[in-house]
Amino acid sequence: MVGRSVQLGPPLLAVMRWWSSRGAKASFKRDEEGKLLVERRLLWGRSVVHLFDQGFASAFWLGILLAFGLRFVLRWRGDYQLFDAQGNHRKAWRIAMGKRGWSERTIWDSRRAKSGACQCTGAPGDAPRLAGHAPVAGGLPRASDAPPGIC
């Protein structure tokens, strides 16, 4: 997705590639994703923020993103376990819980069909099998709103 400013308009899908696991030009999904990431890094450098959904939430992808020094947002499932700054094994959402929010936004929750206020916050954390800390950010609803998971 590209388009961070009002002048560029809404975010758009920037690049996509078709691949197949069958036939003469068969390849592996992770290989193709890795090639695409390396190509984009060479082309864009750190001028963009890469967005990854839950399918990329693993020590493997987090290690690659940190090794390349990329700016990224990686959405973790709420039940995935990470290490907090003190080395305790905790669920990702619990690491960010209780931290003061950086900013607050109103978002639409399609599952509950209503709007809710959400704060963006973060804390240092680490994934199992990785050395060093990466920032862990989370969206947490205000206490008066829906239970965790709306953001």
Provide the residue ranges of all domains of the chain, joining segments of one domain with +: 78-141
* Distant-in-sequence, close-in-space partners of 106: CB < 8 Å, separation ≥ 6: 115, 116, 117, 118
Place of tokens 């990466």: 134
pTM above 0.95, yes or no: no
Q: Which residue has the higher pLDDT, 126 or 42?
A: 42
Kindly report, residue by residue over 47-103, the tens digit of the pLDDT.
888 888 878 877 788 888 888 888 887 777 777 777 777 778 888 777 777 777 777
Place 135 in a pLDDT band, splitting at 50, 70 and 90.
low
Six-digit token pair at 26?
């068969």
Whole-number pLDDT of residue 22: 92
